[in-house]
Amino acid sequence: MLIEENTPCPCGSEKALAQCCGPFLSQERLASTAEQLMRSRYSAFALGAADYLIATLAPERRSPNERRMLEQELRQTKWIKLEIVDTQAGSSTDTSGVVEFNAFFVAPSGAGCLHERSNFRKEGEKWFYVDGQVEVNN
């Protein structure tokens, strides 16, 4: 993925993509916290980075048709804004964490907000998205 130097990061950090989620998406660096992984996964959804989304999904959660489903969703949904609501644990020294967020989107069915409490797990130095409690409001 080619990253323009001054492109704003979709995660809402107000930093340039190259200084924020870009190094995670290009897999030059690993996210050091659950929140960093969540922000980078949001950026991956916003930018259509299916490889990163699959690589950061807990292996036991991946389905044989994961890529096809993701690519379809990525074509149909435009992600507008991310708001972090709360984090629990998930620091660089933790092995698990929870990040609660609101992600605003536009889909064929209209605009909406996905509210989720996501569970993350760290194996070695790598964080993975495990699952979450999701509520979608259109």
d(CA 58, CA 12): 25
**Whole-angstrom Cα distance, residue 85 to residue 96?**
18
CATH architecture of the domain covering 17-137: Roll (3.10)
Of the pLDDT bands very low, low, confident and very high (cuts 50, 70, 90), residue 3 is low
The pLDDT value given to residue 138 = 82
Which tens digits make up the pLDDT trace of 50-98?
999 999 999 999 999 999 999 999 999 999 999 999 999 999 999 999 9
* Band of pLDDT at residue 5, cut at 50, 70 and 90: low
pLDDT higher than 80, residue 113: yes
With a cut of 60, say whether residue 119 has pLDDT above it.
yes
Q: Measured between alpha carbons, how far is 35 from 49 in angstroms, rounded to an integer?
A: 18
pLDDT of residue 2: 53
Distance CA 22, CA 68 (A): 23
Closest Cα partner for 84 from 44, 48, 26, 40? 40
CA dihedral 124, 129, 133, 135 (to 10 degrees): 160
Confidence of residue 4 (pLDDT cuts 50, 70, 90): low
Per-residue confidence (pLDDT) for residue 1, from 0 to 100: 52
Given a contact cutoff of 8 angstroms between Cβ atoms, the answer to whether 79 and 104 are in contact is yes
Q: What is the pLDDT of residues 23-55, one digit of tens each?
A: 999 999 999 999 999 999 999 999 999 999 999
